[in-house]
Structure 1
Amino acid sequence: MKGYIYNITISADRSCGGDVLYFVEHRLFPTWAERQGWERPKLLRIPTPMEDGITVALQFELESTKLLADFELASDPLVTRIQEVYGEKVLFYPTLMEVIG
């Protein structure tokens, strides 16, 4: 497969990790998995010590970067909602990777 992988890593403080994980599993991930052209969605847990909180990654395969043209992570309503409730206790790290092999 040539194309791109769009990865969004989400780190949540242990004080809100369970709530954030539930929100990601039941609201954020299903909503983004419905986006046109965002193929083969994956929700992954990144092993971290419990005292560090919870870290997950969402991955989607894209044929073109044009599929991200109308998507702004910081203004997505679901991301905005999490940020309003938990502030800096939840951090989002988007990464676009090109598949070269």
Structure 2
Amino acid sequence: MKQISPEEVQNLVETNQEAAIIDVREPAEVAAGKIPGAVNIPLGLLEFRMNELDKAQEYIMVCRSGGRSSQATNFLENQGYNVINMDGGMMAWEGATE
């Protein structure tokens, strides 16, 4: 499983580079703040909504601490998607939130 640091993700966001970020936390958690531009698809719905994702695009998976996003990354990787897990999750995120 590929990993990316929160600092690397923050650099992508702040320099307006193409970064497709999927936040797999529950909506109540996301309401407290998410990475700007991130799309919320709760882990429990990922299997049913993965058809919304493009297998040609790379996605960065995010959760609170890195556990659920690791599960999401492994699941999507096994389905043929190009995904990277953000190590440490939102607990390690020091950038802006929306």
Tell me, yes or no, whether TM beats 0.5.
Answer: no
Using the size of structure 1 for normalisation, the TM-score is 0.30
Using the size of structure 2 for normalisation, the TM-score is 0.31
The structure having more radius of gyration, on CA atoms, is: 1
